[in-house]
Structure 1
């Protein structure tokens, strides 16, 4: 915990390593997570479809960040964290003017059944 997943269009210029470092710092500061508990997976999508446009035109890029936290954070804390995520996306995704970026973030409570192990 936290479990962080970043789904994004493959073709965007995205500094994932720096984003992850900054994101982990924000999660620690805002949601009181432990630095060593922060884990982020990036999943690049080959095809991103938007409306009725041809997905191969690459006119629209999508990034969605999901952060799963153990229950107990207030709605205010979750909102602060999602706002911080969006600001970090603005900072770490290059805006070359070639596509429209659709960025979003959400915080969800991990289910009570959540368990983990480490080797």
Structure 2
């Protein structure tokens, strides 16, 4: 925990440094929101078939959705979304040929309903 999904335009595959952004994202989840480093999970989803704005080819997007256990204050949530947005800007190379929209959405997971089971490693 937490779970993050990063959806991005296929046209940005070379511009978005996914490993560096993932590391910065996980660091922010731990330092800003008090997440557990070993529980951070991020999935990158490339989209090659998007319709943005008027549909012209010069539009692109990166959207980050974070699912975090409930209980953080609005101030912590805002600080986290700002840190994630800053990391996105830092780890996305300039693409003057595209108008890139960056967005971050943070959602609470109900602590009473969320369940996780970790299967311990077995010696081989």
TM-score by length of 2: 0.88
Superposition deviation, residue 113 in structure 1: 2.1
In structure 2, how many angstroms separate the alpha carbons of the residues matched to 1:108 and 1:90?
21
Q: Which residue of 1 aligns with 2:19?
A: 17
Q: Counterparts in 2 of 1:29-48, with a 5 A limit?
A: 29-48=31-50
Larger radius of gyration: 2
CA contact (8 A) 2:53 2:59 kept: no
Q: What RMSD in Å do the two structures reach over aligned CA positions?
A: 1.1
Where structure 2 has 5 or more consecutive residues not aligned to the other structure, the ranges are 120-124
| Runs of 4+ with deviation above 3 angstroms | none
Where structure 1 has 5 or more consecutive residues not aligned to the other structure, the ranges are none
In structure 2, how many angstroms separate the alpha carbons of the residues matched to 1:37 and 1:74?
21
Superposition deviation, residue 80 in structure 1: 0.3
Q: Tell me, what secondary structure is at the counterpart of 2:7?
A: strand
Superposition deviation, residue 53 in structure 1: 2.5
- Count of paired positions: 116
Superposition deviation, residue 114 in structure 1: 1.7
Q: Which residue of 2 aligns with 1:104?
A: 103
